[in-house]
Structure 1
Amino acid sequence: MSEVTAQPAVQARLLELQELDTALDQARTQIRRLKADPEHARLRARAQELEDALPELEDAARTADRAGAEASEKAAATRARRDRTRERLEAGQGGSKELQAMQHEDDTLTALLDEHEGAALEAMEAADEAESRLAAARQTLEQARAEVDARAAEVRREGQVVTQRGRDLTQRRTALAAVFPAPLLALYEKARERNGGIGAARLVGRRSQASGTELSPADVARIEALPPAAVARCPESGAILVRG
Protein backbone atom coordinates (compact mmCIF):
# COMPACT_ATOMS: atom_id res chain seq x y z
CA MET A 1 0.00 0.00 0.00
CA SER A 2 1.03 3.59 -0.46
CA GLU A 3 3.04 5.39 2.20
CA VAL A 4 1.09 8.60 1.57
CA THR A 5 -0.87 9.68 4.64
CA ALA A 6 -3.60 12.22 5.34
CA GLN A 7 -6.23 12.69 8.00
CA PRO A 8 -9.42 10.69 7.30
CA ALA A 9 -11.45 13.91 6.98
CA VAL A 10 -9.06 15.16 4.29
CA GLN A 11 -9.17 11.82 2.49
CA ALA A 12 -12.95 11.94 2.56
CA ARG A 13 -12.89 15.25 0.70
CA LEU A 14 -11.27 13.46 -2.22
CA LEU A 15 -14.79 12.26 -3.02
CA GLU A 16 -15.83 15.90 -3.49
CA LEU A 17 -12.83 16.42 -5.76
CA GLN A 18 -13.72 13.29 -7.72
CA GLU A 19 -17.29 14.54 -8.16
CA LEU A 20 -16.02 17.86 -9.54
CA ASP A 21 -13.54 16.12 -11.85
CA THR A 22 -16.25 13.80 -13.15
CA ALA A 23 -18.48 16.81 -13.86
CA LEU A 24 -15.58 18.53 -15.62
CA ASP A 25 -14.94 15.44 -17.74
CA GLN A 26 -18.61 15.37 -18.68
CA ALA A 27 -18.50 19.06 -19.62
CA ARG A 28 -15.44 18.49 -21.83
CA THR A 29 -17.15 15.54 -23.49
CA GLN A 30 -20.24 17.65 -24.09
CA ILE A 31 -18.16 20.44 -25.65
CA ARG A 32 -16.50 17.93 -27.99
CA ARG A 33 -19.91 16.55 -28.91
CA LEU A 34 -21.22 20.04 -29.64
CA LYS A 35 -18.24 20.85 -31.84
CA ALA A 36 -18.95 17.73 -33.89
CA ASP A 37 -22.74 18.09 -33.60
CA PRO A 38 -24.17 15.44 -35.98
CA GLU A 39 -27.44 17.32 -36.51
CA HIS A 40 -25.61 20.49 -37.54
CA ALA A 41 -23.40 18.42 -39.85
CA ARG A 42 -26.47 16.76 -41.38
CA LEU A 43 -28.18 20.08 -42.01
CA ARG A 44 -25.00 21.54 -43.52
CA ALA A 45 -24.66 18.53 -45.84
CA ARG A 46 -28.29 18.84 -46.95
CA ALA A 47 -27.91 22.56 -47.63
CA GLN A 48 -24.74 21.87 -49.60
CA GLU A 49 -26.53 19.25 -51.72
CA LEU A 50 -29.29 21.74 -52.50
CA GLU A 51 -26.75 24.42 -53.33
CA ASP A 52 -24.81 22.05 -55.60
CA ALA A 53 -28.02 21.19 -57.48
CA LEU A 54 -28.93 24.85 -58.06
CA PRO A 55 -26.62 25.59 -61.05
CA GLU A 56 -28.16 22.77 -63.08
CA LEU A 57 -31.66 24.09 -62.38
CA GLU A 58 -30.57 27.64 -63.24
CA ASP A 59 -29.06 26.40 -66.51
CA ALA A 60 -32.24 24.47 -67.29
CA ALA A 61 -34.35 27.57 -66.63
CA ARG A 62 -32.14 29.72 -68.88
CA THR A 63 -32.23 27.10 -71.63
CA ALA A 64 -36.00 26.78 -71.39
CA ASP A 65 -36.39 30.56 -71.38
CA ARG A 66 -34.25 30.89 -74.51
CA ALA A 67 -36.20 28.10 -76.20
CA GLY A 68 -39.46 29.87 -75.35
CA ALA A 69 -38.18 33.18 -76.70
CA GLU A 70 -36.92 31.55 -79.91
CA ALA A 71 -40.20 29.70 -80.43
CA SER A 72 -42.18 32.91 -79.87
CA GLU A 73 -39.97 34.81 -82.33
CA LYS A 74 -40.41 32.04 -84.89
CA ALA A 75 -44.17 32.17 -84.47
CA ALA A 76 -44.13 35.98 -84.73
CA ALA A 77 -42.08 35.85 -87.93
CA THR A 78 -44.47 33.30 -89.45
CA ARG A 79 -47.44 35.43 -88.43
CA ALA A 80 -45.90 38.49 -90.06
CA ARG A 81 -45.32 36.56 -93.32
CA ARG A 82 -48.88 35.23 -93.26
CA ASP A 83 -50.28 38.70 -92.58
CA ARG A 84 -48.32 40.22 -95.48
CA THR A 85 -49.50 37.47 -97.80
CA ARG A 86 -53.07 37.91 -96.60
CA GLU A 87 -52.95 41.66 -97.16
CA ARG A 88 -51.77 41.13 -100.74
CA LEU A 89 -54.44 38.48 -101.24
CA GLU A 90 -57.20 40.70 -99.88
CA ALA A 91 -55.97 43.56 -102.06
CA GLY A 92 -56.40 41.30 -105.12
CA GLN A 93 -52.99 42.16 -106.45
CA GLY A 94 -51.84 39.98 -109.38
CA GLY A 95 -53.42 37.62 -111.84
CA SER A 96 -55.51 34.55 -111.21
CA LYS A 97 -52.54 32.16 -110.99
CA GLU A 98 -50.69 34.54 -108.73
CA LEU A 99 -53.73 34.89 -106.49
CA GLN A 100 -54.06 31.10 -106.37
CA ALA A 101 -50.41 30.83 -105.38
CA MET A 102 -50.89 33.44 -102.66
CA GLN A 103 -53.95 31.59 -101.41
CA HIS A 104 -51.92 28.40 -101.23
CA GLU A 105 -49.17 30.30 -99.46
CA ASP A 106 -51.71 31.74 -97.03
CA ASP A 107 -53.07 28.28 -96.28
CA THR A 108 -49.56 26.91 -95.84
CA LEU A 109 -48.47 29.79 -93.58
CA THR A 110 -51.67 29.55 -91.54
CA ALA A 111 -51.04 25.85 -90.90
CA LEU A 112 -47.39 26.58 -90.15
CA LEU A 113 -48.40 29.39 -87.80
CA ASP A 114 -50.66 27.02 -85.88
CA GLU A 115 -47.72 24.64 -85.54
CA HIS A 116 -45.31 27.38 -84.47
CA GLU A 117 -47.76 28.93 -82.01
CA GLY A 118 -48.38 25.50 -80.48
CA ALA A 119 -44.66 24.93 -80.17
CA ALA A 120 -44.22 28.41 -78.65
CA LEU A 121 -46.97 27.72 -76.12
CA GLU A 122 -45.35 24.43 -75.12
CA ALA A 123 -41.95 26.09 -74.90
CA MET A 124 -43.31 28.90 -72.70
CA GLU A 125 -45.08 26.39 -70.46
CA ALA A 126 -41.82 24.44 -70.16
CA ALA A 127 -40.00 27.68 -69.31
CA ASP A 128 -42.61 28.46 -66.65
CA GLU A 129 -42.22 24.98 -65.17
CA ALA A 130 -38.41 25.28 -65.15
CA GLU A 131 -38.65 28.69 -63.47
CA SER A 132 -41.09 27.28 -60.89
CA ARG A 133 -38.73 24.40 -60.12
CA LEU A 134 -35.86 26.87 -59.77
CA ALA A 135 -37.89 29.15 -57.49
CA ALA A 136 -38.92 26.17 -55.33
CA ALA A 137 -35.30 24.98 -55.13
CA ARG A 138 -34.14 28.45 -54.09
CA GLN A 139 -36.82 28.62 -51.43
CA THR A 140 -35.90 25.15 -50.14
CA LEU A 141 -32.22 26.14 -50.06
CA GLU A 142 -33.04 29.34 -48.17
CA GLN A 143 -35.01 27.34 -45.63
CA ALA A 144 -32.18 24.78 -45.33
CA ARG A 145 -29.67 27.56 -44.72
CA ALA A 146 -31.97 29.03 -42.08
CA GLU A 147 -32.11 25.63 -40.37
CA VAL A 148 -28.30 25.44 -40.44
CA ASP A 149 -28.05 28.89 -38.87
CA ALA A 150 -30.69 28.05 -36.26
CA ARG A 151 -28.92 24.85 -35.26
CA ALA A 152 -25.57 26.65 -35.15
CA ALA A 153 -27.08 29.27 -32.83
CA GLU A 154 -28.56 26.54 -30.65
CA VAL A 155 -25.19 24.79 -30.45
CA ARG A 156 -23.48 28.07 -29.57
CA ARG A 157 -26.00 28.78 -26.81
CA GLU A 158 -25.61 25.29 -25.38
CA GLY A 159 -21.84 25.57 -25.71
CA GLN A 160 -21.84 28.86 -23.80
CA VAL A 161 -23.83 27.26 -20.98
CA VAL A 162 -21.51 24.26 -20.81
CA THR A 163 -18.42 26.47 -21.02
CA GLN A 164 -19.64 28.63 -18.15
CA ARG A 165 -20.42 25.53 -16.11
CA GLY A 166 -16.90 24.30 -16.85
CA ARG A 167 -15.44 27.59 -15.63
CA ASP A 168 -17.46 27.41 -12.42
CA LEU A 169 -16.43 23.81 -11.83
CA THR A 170 -12.78 24.67 -12.50
CA GLN A 171 -12.85 27.49 -9.96
CA ARG A 172 -14.41 25.23 -7.35
CA ARG A 173 -11.94 22.47 -8.17
CA THR A 174 -8.96 24.82 -7.85
CA ALA A 175 -10.16 26.01 -4.44
CA LEU A 176 -10.78 22.46 -3.21
CA ALA A 177 -7.47 21.09 -4.55
CA ALA A 178 -5.61 23.56 -2.33
CA VAL A 179 -6.93 21.68 0.72
CA PHE A 180 -4.97 18.50 -0.01
CA PRO A 181 -1.32 17.78 0.75
CA ALA A 182 0.73 17.70 -2.44
CA PRO A 183 1.61 13.96 -2.17
CA LEU A 184 -2.04 13.02 -1.73
CA LEU A 185 -3.15 15.18 -4.63
CA ALA A 186 -0.38 13.78 -6.84
CA LEU A 187 -1.40 10.23 -5.94
CA TYR A 188 -5.02 11.03 -6.77
CA GLU A 189 -4.09 12.61 -10.13
CA LYS A 190 -1.89 9.66 -11.08
CA ALA A 191 -4.67 7.22 -10.21
CA ARG A 192 -7.15 9.23 -12.30
CA GLU A 193 -4.83 9.16 -15.28
CA ARG A 194 -4.35 5.39 -15.09
CA ASN A 195 -7.94 4.54 -14.22
CA GLY A 196 -10.05 6.34 -16.82
CA GLY A 197 -10.80 9.38 -14.70
CA ILE A 198 -11.47 7.68 -11.35
CA GLY A 199 -8.93 8.77 -8.75
CA ALA A 200 -10.87 8.16 -5.56
CA ALA A 201 -13.94 6.20 -4.56
CA ARG A 202 -15.60 4.86 -1.45
CA LEU A 203 -15.05 1.42 0.01
CA VAL A 204 -18.48 0.13 1.01
CA GLY A 205 -18.19 -3.08 2.95
CA ARG A 206 -16.04 -5.27 0.71
CA ARG A 207 -17.01 -3.50 -2.52
CA SER A 208 -14.70 -0.99 -4.17
CA GLN A 209 -16.78 1.64 -5.92
CA ALA A 210 -13.72 2.43 -8.03
CA SER A 211 -13.69 -0.97 -9.75
CA GLY A 212 -17.25 -2.02 -8.95
CA THR A 213 -16.01 -5.38 -7.63
CA GLU A 214 -15.80 -7.00 -4.22
CA LEU A 215 -12.32 -7.24 -2.74
CA SER A 216 -10.90 -10.51 -1.54
CA PRO A 217 -10.95 -11.17 2.19
CA ALA A 218 -7.15 -10.80 2.23
CA ASP A 219 -7.30 -7.37 0.58
CA VAL A 220 -10.03 -6.25 2.96
CA ALA A 221 -7.97 -7.45 5.91
CA ARG A 222 -4.91 -5.53 4.73
CA ILE A 223 -6.95 -2.33 4.30
CA GLU A 224 -8.61 -2.70 7.70
CA ALA A 225 -5.18 -3.14 9.30
CA LEU A 226 -3.99 0.24 7.98
CA PRO A 227 -3.82 3.20 10.36
CA PRO A 228 -6.67 5.73 9.85
CA ALA A 229 -4.27 8.25 8.27
CA ALA A 230 -2.84 5.75 5.80
CA VAL A 231 -4.14 6.00 2.27
CA ALA A 232 -5.77 2.79 1.03
CA ARG A 233 -5.67 1.79 -2.63
CA CYS A 234 -8.02 -0.37 -4.66
CA PRO A 235 -6.02 -3.43 -5.71
CA GLU A 236 -8.05 -3.71 -8.93
CA SER A 237 -7.92 -0.11 -10.18
CA GLY A 238 -5.28 1.64 -8.13
CA ALA A 239 -7.73 4.36 -7.10
CA ILE A 240 -7.68 5.75 -3.58
CA LEU A 241 -10.29 4.09 -1.38
CA VAL A 242 -12.02 6.27 1.18
CA ARG A 243 -12.95 4.17 4.19
CA GLY A 244 -15.87 4.69 6.51
Structure 2
Amino acid sequence: MTTAPAADQHHLLEVQELDTRLDQNAHRRRTLPVLERISELAAQLADLDTALVTSRTAAGDLRRELSKAETDVEQVRSRAVRDQARLQAGAGAKDAQALSSEIESLARRQADLEEVELAVMERLEAHTAALAELEKARAALVEQQSASAAEREQAERELDDEAGRLRAERQNAAAGLDAGLVALYERLRGQLGGRGAAALRGRQCDGCRMELNPLDLERIRSAAEDQVVRCEECGRILVR
Protein backbone atom coordinates (compact mmCIF):
# COMPACT_ATOMS: atom_id res chain seq x y z
CA MET A 1 0.00 0.00 0.00
CA THR A 2 1.46 3.37 -1.02
CA THR A 3 1.86 6.01 1.63
CA ALA A 4 3.05 9.60 1.50
CA PRO A 5 2.77 12.57 3.84
CA ALA A 6 -0.63 14.26 3.65
CA ALA A 7 1.09 17.58 2.94
CA ASP A 8 2.84 16.03 -0.07
CA GLN A 9 -0.48 14.73 -1.34
CA HIS A 10 -1.98 18.21 -1.10
CA HIS A 11 1.07 19.71 -2.88
CA LEU A 12 0.57 17.09 -5.60
CA LEU A 13 -2.64 18.90 -6.56
CA GLU A 14 -0.56 22.03 -7.21
CA VAL A 15 1.72 19.97 -9.44
CA GLN A 16 -1.31 18.56 -11.22
CA GLU A 17 -2.71 22.05 -11.78
CA LEU A 18 0.57 23.21 -13.28
CA ASP A 19 0.81 20.07 -15.45
CA THR A 20 -2.72 20.71 -16.67
CA ARG A 21 -1.83 24.29 -17.55
CA LEU A 22 1.28 23.04 -19.38
CA ASP A 23 -0.85 20.56 -21.34
CA GLN A 24 -3.29 23.34 -22.20
CA ASN A 25 -0.41 25.53 -23.28
CA ALA A 26 0.89 22.77 -25.58
CA HIS A 27 -2.60 22.23 -26.98
CA ARG A 28 -2.99 25.94 -27.72
CA ARG A 29 0.39 25.93 -29.45
CA ARG A 30 -0.63 22.97 -31.64
CA THR A 31 -4.02 24.45 -32.50
CA LEU A 32 -3.29 28.13 -33.03
CA PRO A 33 -5.99 29.52 -35.37
CA VAL A 34 -3.29 31.06 -37.53
CA LEU A 35 -1.91 27.56 -38.29
CA GLU A 36 -5.11 26.69 -40.15
CA ARG A 37 -4.84 29.96 -42.05
CA ILE A 38 -1.24 29.18 -42.98
CA SER A 39 -2.30 25.75 -44.22
CA GLU A 40 -5.10 27.28 -46.29
CA LEU A 41 -2.73 29.85 -47.79
CA ALA A 42 -0.20 27.13 -48.66
CA ALA A 43 -2.92 25.14 -50.47
CA GLN A 44 -4.11 28.25 -52.31
CA LEU A 45 -0.55 29.11 -53.27
CA ALA A 46 0.07 25.60 -54.58
CA ASP A 47 -3.07 25.80 -56.74
CA LEU A 48 -2.07 29.24 -57.97
CA ASP A 49 1.46 28.11 -58.80
CA THR A 50 0.00 25.28 -60.88
CA ALA A 51 -2.25 27.75 -62.68
CA LEU A 52 0.72 30.06 -63.25
CA VAL A 53 2.81 27.28 -64.79
CA THR A 54 -0.06 26.43 -67.13
CA SER A 55 -0.66 30.09 -67.97
CA ARG A 56 3.01 30.88 -68.58
CA THR A 57 3.33 27.82 -70.80
CA ALA A 58 0.27 28.90 -72.79
CA ALA A 59 1.64 32.45 -73.08
CA GLY A 60 4.95 31.07 -74.36
CA ASP A 61 3.10 28.97 -76.95
CA LEU A 62 1.14 32.03 -78.08
CA ARG A 63 4.32 34.10 -78.41
CA ARG A 64 5.85 31.41 -80.61
CA GLU A 65 2.63 31.22 -82.62
CA LEU A 66 2.68 35.02 -83.03
CA SER A 67 6.32 34.96 -84.08
CA LYS A 68 5.53 32.36 -86.75
CA ALA A 69 2.52 34.37 -87.94
CA GLU A 70 4.67 37.51 -88.20
CA THR A 71 7.32 35.56 -90.12
CA ASP A 72 4.70 34.18 -92.52
CA VAL A 73 3.32 37.68 -93.17
CA GLU A 74 6.80 39.09 -93.69
CA GLN A 75 7.71 36.33 -96.15
CA VAL A 76 4.60 36.96 -98.24
CA ARG A 77 5.12 40.72 -98.07
CA SER A 78 8.77 40.37 -99.16
CA ARG A 79 7.76 38.12 -102.06
CA ALA A 80 5.16 40.65 -103.15
CA VAL A 81 7.72 43.48 -103.00
CA ARG A 82 10.14 41.48 -105.14
CA ASP A 83 7.46 40.68 -107.68
CA GLN A 84 6.38 44.31 -107.79
CA ALA A 85 9.98 45.38 -108.36
CA ARG A 86 10.38 42.89 -111.23
CA LEU A 87 7.11 44.06 -112.73
CA GLN A 88 8.20 47.68 -112.57
CA ALA A 89 11.58 46.78 -114.07
CA GLY A 90 9.85 45.93 -117.33
CA ALA A 91 9.23 42.21 -117.46
CA GLY A 92 7.94 40.68 -120.68
CA ALA A 93 4.19 40.55 -121.37
CA LYS A 94 3.92 36.90 -120.39
CA ASP A 95 6.03 37.37 -117.24
CA ALA A 96 4.16 40.58 -116.40
CA GLN A 97 0.84 38.73 -116.48
CA ALA A 98 2.16 35.97 -114.27
CA LEU A 99 3.69 38.49 -111.88
CA SER A 100 0.46 40.48 -111.66
CA SER A 101 -1.49 37.30 -110.94
CA GLU A 102 0.98 36.26 -108.26
CA ILE A 103 0.92 39.72 -106.67
CA GLU A 104 -2.87 39.53 -106.41
CA SER A 105 -2.65 36.03 -104.93
CA LEU A 106 0.02 37.20 -102.49
CA ALA A 107 -2.15 40.15 -101.44
CA ARG A 108 -5.00 37.78 -100.59
CA ARG A 109 -2.60 35.45 -98.82
CA GLN A 110 -1.14 38.37 -96.85
CA ALA A 111 -4.61 39.54 -95.82
CA ASP A 112 -5.47 36.05 -94.56
CA LEU A 113 -2.18 35.76 -92.68
CA GLU A 114 -2.61 39.22 -91.13
CA GLU A 115 -6.03 38.14 -89.84
CA VAL A 116 -4.38 35.10 -88.24
CA GLU A 117 -1.64 37.35 -86.82
CA LEU A 118 -4.22 39.76 -85.39
CA ALA A 119 -6.23 36.92 -83.82
CA VAL A 120 -3.10 35.53 -82.15
CA MET A 121 -2.13 39.01 -80.93
CA GLU A 122 -5.58 39.47 -79.38
CA ARG A 123 -5.41 36.07 -77.68
CA LEU A 124 -1.91 36.80 -76.38
CA GLU A 125 -3.00 40.20 -75.09
CA ALA A 126 -5.95 38.69 -73.22
CA HIS A 127 -3.77 35.88 -71.87
CA THR A 128 -1.06 38.30 -70.77
CA ALA A 129 -3.66 40.33 -68.85
CA ALA A 130 -4.96 37.16 -67.17
CA LEU A 131 -1.39 36.10 -66.34
CA ALA A 132 -0.72 39.50 -64.77
CA GLU A 133 -3.79 39.04 -62.55
CA LEU A 134 -2.56 35.61 -61.47
CA GLU A 135 0.86 37.01 -60.62
CA LYS A 136 -0.78 39.85 -58.70
CA ALA A 137 -2.89 37.34 -56.76
CA ARG A 138 0.21 35.27 -56.00
CA ALA A 139 2.05 38.31 -54.67
CA ALA A 140 -0.91 39.06 -52.39
CA LEU A 141 -0.93 35.47 -51.10
CA VAL A 142 2.80 35.57 -50.41
CA GLU A 143 2.29 38.79 -48.45
CA GLN A 144 -0.51 37.16 -46.44
CA GLN A 145 1.76 34.16 -45.83
CA SER A 146 4.49 36.39 -44.45
CA ALA A 147 2.04 38.20 -42.17
CA SER A 148 0.58 34.90 -40.93
CA ALA A 149 4.05 33.47 -40.32
CA ALA A 150 4.95 36.54 -38.25
CA GLU A 151 1.68 36.18 -36.31
CA ARG A 152 2.42 32.49 -35.64
CA GLU A 153 5.95 33.23 -34.46
CA GLN A 154 4.70 35.91 -32.08
CA ALA A 155 1.99 33.62 -30.66
CA GLU A 156 4.44 30.74 -30.27
CA ARG A 157 6.95 33.00 -28.54
CA GLU A 158 4.33 34.11 -26.03
CA LEU A 159 3.22 30.53 -25.38
CA ASP A 160 6.82 29.34 -25.05
CA ASP A 161 7.50 32.08 -22.51
CA GLU A 162 4.41 31.04 -20.57
CA ALA A 163 5.45 27.38 -20.72
CA GLY A 164 8.90 28.28 -19.40
CA ARG A 165 7.38 30.05 -16.41
CA LEU A 166 5.01 27.15 -15.75
CA ARG A 167 7.82 24.58 -15.91
CA ALA A 168 9.82 26.60 -13.37
CA GLU A 169 6.79 26.77 -11.05
CA ARG A 170 6.17 23.06 -11.54
CA GLN A 171 9.75 22.21 -10.66
CA ASN A 172 9.51 24.21 -7.45
CA ALA A 173 6.13 22.69 -6.56
CA ALA A 174 7.42 19.13 -7.07
CA ALA A 175 10.71 19.66 -5.25
CA GLY A 176 10.99 17.48 -2.16
CA LEU A 177 7.74 15.54 -2.70
CA ASP A 178 7.68 11.85 -1.80
CA ALA A 179 9.42 10.01 -4.66
CA GLY A 180 6.98 7.06 -4.62
CA LEU A 181 4.02 9.40 -4.75
CA VAL A 182 5.47 11.32 -7.69
CA ALA A 183 6.32 8.11 -9.56
CA LEU A 184 2.75 6.81 -9.13
CA TYR A 185 1.37 10.17 -10.20
CA GLU A 186 3.51 10.27 -13.36
CA ARG A 187 2.51 6.73 -14.30
CA LEU A 188 -1.18 7.49 -13.86
CA ARG A 189 -0.83 10.77 -15.75
CA GLY A 190 0.50 8.87 -18.73
CA GLN A 191 -2.38 6.38 -18.57
CA LEU A 192 -5.24 8.76 -17.82
CA GLY A 193 -4.98 11.58 -20.31
CA GLY A 194 -2.60 13.79 -18.37
CA ARG A 195 -4.43 13.80 -15.06
CA GLY A 196 -2.99 11.51 -12.38
CA ALA A 197 -4.40 13.14 -9.24
CA ALA A 198 -7.68 14.78 -8.29
CA ALA A 199 -9.30 16.25 -5.23
CA LEU A 200 -12.17 14.60 -3.38
CA ARG A 201 -14.88 17.25 -3.12
CA GLY A 202 -17.74 16.04 -0.96
CA ARG A 203 -18.64 12.68 -2.49
CA GLN A 204 -17.32 13.52 -5.95
CA CYS A 205 -13.97 12.80 -7.57
CA ASP A 206 -12.77 15.98 -9.25
CA GLY A 207 -11.07 13.90 -11.93
CA CYS A 208 -13.89 11.79 -13.38
CA ARG A 209 -16.75 13.81 -11.80
CA MET A 210 -18.32 10.61 -10.53
CA GLU A 211 -19.85 10.32 -7.07
CA LEU A 212 -18.39 7.61 -4.88
CA ASN A 213 -20.72 5.06 -3.34
CA PRO A 214 -21.13 5.24 0.47
CA LEU A 215 -18.96 2.19 1.13
CA ASP A 216 -16.00 3.48 -0.90
CA LEU A 217 -16.43 6.92 0.59
CA GLU A 218 -16.36 5.55 4.12
CA ARG A 219 -13.29 3.42 3.35
CA ILE A 220 -11.46 6.47 1.97
CA ARG A 221 -12.41 8.73 4.84
CA SER A 222 -11.35 6.17 7.43
CA ALA A 223 -7.96 5.50 5.79
CA ALA A 224 -4.84 6.73 7.52
CA GLU A 225 -3.88 10.32 6.76
CA ASP A 226 -0.71 9.29 4.91
CA GLN A 227 -2.35 6.51 2.92
CA VAL A 228 -2.53 7.25 -0.79
CA VAL A 229 -6.08 6.40 -1.87
CA ARG A 230 -7.40 6.14 -5.39
CA CYS A 231 -10.75 6.71 -7.02
CA GLU A 232 -12.60 3.44 -7.55
CA GLU A 233 -14.10 4.82 -10.78
CA CYS A 234 -11.13 6.30 -12.64
CA GLY A 235 -8.09 5.08 -10.68
CA ARG A 236 -6.59 8.53 -10.07
CA ILE A 237 -4.89 9.45 -6.81
CA LEU A 238 -7.64 10.93 -4.70
CA VAL A 239 -6.51 13.74 -2.39
CA ARG A 240 -8.71 14.26 0.61
TM-score normalised by structure 2 residue count: 0.85
1:62 aligned residue: 60
Q: Which 5+ residue runs of structure 1 have no aligned equivalent? A: none
In 2, Cα distance between equivalents of 1:92 and 1:184: 116
2:165 aligned residue: 168
Instruction: Quickly say closer, same or farther: Cα 1:218–1:79, change in 2 above 3 A.
Output: same
Q: Is the 8 A contact 2:204 2:212 kept in 1?
A: yes
Amino acid at match of 1:173: R
- Which residue of 26, 31, 41 corresponds with 2:24? 26
Q: Is the 8 A contact 2:4 2:178 kept in 1?
A: no
Give, in angstroms, the shift of residue 49 of structure 1: 3.0
- Which residue of 181, 198, 201 corresponds with 1:201? 198
Give, in angstroms, the shift of residue 10 of structure 1: 4.1
* 1:174-217 deviation line (CA, Å, top 9, x unaligned): 00101523233233223322322112212122111112111011
1:42 aligned residue: 40
Give, in angstroms, the shift of residue 21 of structure 1: 0.4
Give, in angstroms, the shift of residue 71 of structure 1: 0.8
* 1:89-140 deviation line (CA, Å, top 9, x unaligned): 5x48245554444333332222222111111111222222333333333333
Q: Is the 8 A contact 1:5 1:231 kept in 2?
A: yes
Amino acid at match of 1:167: G
Amino acid at match of 1:70: K
Matched, 1:224 2:221: yes
TM-score normalised by structure 1 residue count: 0.84
Q: Is the 8 A contact 1:6 1:184 kept in 2?
A: no
Q: Which moved more, 1:214-223 or 1:134-143?
A: 134-143
2:232 aligned residue: 235
Amino acid at match of 1:139: K
* Number of aligned residues: 239
Q: Is the 8 A contact 2:4 2:227 kept in 1?
A: yes
Q: Which 5+ residue runs of structure 2 have no aligned equivalent? A: none
The CA RMSD over aligned residues, in Å, is 2.6
In 2, Cα distance between equivalents of 1:31 and 1:92: 88
Give, in angstroms, the shift of residue 26 of structure 1: 1.7
* 1:148-188 deviation line (CA, Å, top 9, x unaligned): 33333322222222111111110000001015232332332
Give, in angstroms, the shift of residue 87 of structure 1: 4.8
